[in-house]
């Protein structure tokens, strides 16, 4: 396989596998959260901090990767971040207390976010906005398998080998994917030497943040992801403890939502043959907002019990398969020269929000599904409203 001529399918496979570092790191150990609380004699809030610290590391790390990859290219920072992820995953497996696990999860996230910034920037380097939206939809197919398989695998690994084996598995996966990343082309070589300094990095971030359209599209994609992470943080306790779902069966419920997400992303790829990404994003955002209001009504009234909550969550999460690729493509469209910085801002918004919502879930008593449902609903409704206010009914992405 030659670096210079990768087919779109192979490119999507490798980039998707890199992007999957994050969902695998989050989802694979979810069935073990209650077990971690017992083993370390920690409260649910302390265990939730292993998620919150991960999201904080993801948000912080991208501040550095964005300007660095615009200065040095995409691949060198990818290798450095990947190696850090491998070492930190081993550190998580060897953690002897909840405090050390929280700390190592933060370091793991610092490495993990290289696998988020670089693939998005590479897609922007290689494709126009319409093609980028289709490529992002392909990435959703590859990385979407992770939320389906990860909790299932994690639940059985937890039973057979204990939670440390989950993190050893993540380290092994990262080594394999970094080996495959050797075949990726270097998609960004600055035409002129760029001085990398705090001032230049801040100016780059400022140029992105004051772009009204960028922020409209970025928030349209970031807020639903923040809601998704509220669901990720809250669902183990809601389903396993509140509704009595066995840990090894939890993955099936989790995987059903991921399957809806994947199906929507592939429908999105077909719709892009006929409609611009901005128009699809507008419709999908309003559908998600309506589903959020439905979920809020379900958790407030208790209608349908377990299945009511499961159906409401499915209705909220599936449209994200259309929202995320189109929001990313539209947001990055106007920032080719700063694709790494713009990609980092996208990730910071996504996982900064995810850190806040997961921390909020951890701070609330898990006695009902209301906290989780209310936060998910608020995120998807706010996403639709902000996209409309900042971008308008439909404003085709800049070429």
Reported confidence tier of residue 194, pLDDT bands at 50, 70, 90: low
State yes or no: pLDDT of 319 exceeds 90. yes
pLDDT at 173: 92
User: How many helices and strands, by DSSP H and E, does the chain display?
Assistant: 17, 0
Tell me the pLDDT band of 6, cut-offs 50, 70 and 90. low
DSSP per-residue string spanning 207-223? HHHT-HHHHHHHHHHHH
The SS3 call for residue 358 is helix
- Structure-block tokens of residue 205: 């971030």
The answer on pLDDT for 314 being more than 90 is yes
pLDDT of residue 329: 84
CA 182/CA 166 separation, integer angstroms: 25
Quote the pLDDT of residue 395. 53
pTM over 0.85: no
Of 398 and 81, the one with more pLDDT:
81
Take residue 392 and report the two structure tokens written for it: 């308008």
Please state the rounded mean pLDDT for residues 231-240.
83
CATH number for the region 8-181+200-391 comes to: 1.20.1250.20
Residue 5: band (very low, low, confident or very high) from pLDDT cuts 50, 70, 90: low
**What pLDDT shows up at residue 200?**
67
Angle formed by the axes of helices 44-72 and 114-126, nearest 10°: 40
* Cβ atoms 104, 95 nearer than 8 A: yes
Give per-residue pLDDT as tens, 236-281: 888 887 888 886 677 778 778 888 888 898 898 889 888 888 899 9
Could you read off the pLDDT of 325-378 as tens digits, one per residue?
899 888 887 765 666 677 778 778 877 787 788 778 877 756 778 888 999 999
Q: What is the pLDDT of residue 240?
A: 83
Q: If pLDDT is split at 50, 70 and 90, which confidence band does 398 have?
A: very low
CB burial string 193-214: b at 16+ within 10 A, e below = eeeeeeeebeebbeebeebebb
How far is it, in rounded angstroms, from Cα 190 to Cα 144? 32
Higher pLDDT, 158 or 188: 158
pLDDT tens profile 96-142? 888 999 999 999 999 988 888 888 778 877 887 777 777 877 777 76
pLDDT of 137-154, one tens digit each? 777 776 667 666 777 788
User: What φ, ψ does residue 251 adopt, rounded to 5°?
Assistant: -60, -30
Task: Give me the residue spans of the domains in the chain.
Answer: 8-181+200-391
Q: Are 201 and 28 in contact (CB under 8 A)?
A: no
Task: Answer for the pair 352, 55: CB distance below 8 angstroms, yes or no.
Answer: yes
pLDDT at position 243, please? 82
User: Which H, E and C letters describe 259-299, residue by residue?
Assistant: HHHHHHHHHHHHHCCCCCHHHHHHHHHHHHHHHHHHHHHHH
């Amino acid at each position: 396989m030659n670096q210079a001529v990768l087919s779109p399918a192979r490119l999507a496979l490798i980039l998707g596998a890199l992007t999957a570092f994050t969902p695998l790191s989050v989802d694979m150990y979810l069935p073990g959260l209650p077990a971690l609380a017992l083993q370390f004699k920690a409260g649910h809030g302390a265990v939730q901090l292993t998620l919150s610290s991960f999201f904080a590391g993801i948000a912080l790390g991208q501040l550095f990767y964005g300007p660095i990859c615009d200065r040095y290219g995409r691949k060198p920072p990818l290798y450095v971040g990947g190696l850090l992820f491998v070492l930190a995953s081993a550190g998580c497996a060897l953690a002897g207390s909840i405090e050390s696990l929280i700390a190592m999860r933060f370091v793991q996230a610092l490495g993990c976010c290289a696998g988020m910034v670089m693939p998005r920037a590479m897609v922007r380097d290689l494709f126009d906005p319409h093609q980028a939206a289709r490529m992002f939809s392909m990435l959703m197919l590859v990385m979407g398998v992770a939320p389906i398989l990860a909790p299932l695998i994690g639940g059985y690994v937890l039973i057979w080998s204990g939670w440390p084996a989950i993190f050893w598995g993540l380290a092994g996966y990262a080594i394999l994917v970094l080996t495959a990343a050797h075949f990726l082309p270097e998609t960004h070589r600055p035409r002129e030497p760029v001085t990398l300094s705090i001032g230049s990095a801040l100016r780059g971030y400022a140029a992105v943040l004051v772009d009204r359209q960028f922020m409209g599209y970025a928030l349209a994609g970031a807020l639903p992801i923040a809601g998704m992470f509220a669901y990720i943080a809250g669902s183990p306790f809601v389903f396993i403890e509140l509704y009595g779902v066995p840990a090894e069966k939890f993955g099936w419920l989790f995987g059903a939502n991921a399957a809806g997400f994947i199906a929507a992303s592939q429908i999105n790829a077909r719709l892009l043959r006929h409609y611009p990404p901005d128009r699809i994003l507008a419709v999908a955002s309003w559908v998600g907002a309506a589903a959020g209001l439905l979920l809020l009504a379900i958790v407030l009234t208790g209608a349908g019990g377990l299945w009511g909550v499961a159906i409401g969550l499915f209705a909220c999460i599936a449209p994200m398969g259309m929202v995320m690729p189109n929001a990313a493509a539209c947001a990055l469209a106007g920032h080719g020269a700063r694709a790494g910085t713009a990609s980092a801002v996208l990730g910071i918004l996504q996982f900064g929000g995810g850190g806040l919502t997961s921390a909020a879930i951890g701070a609330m008593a898990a006695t009902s599904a209301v906290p989780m449902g209310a936060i998910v609903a608020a995120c998807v409704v706010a996403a639709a409203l902000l996209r409309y206010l900042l971008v308008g009914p439909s404003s085709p992405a800049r070429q």
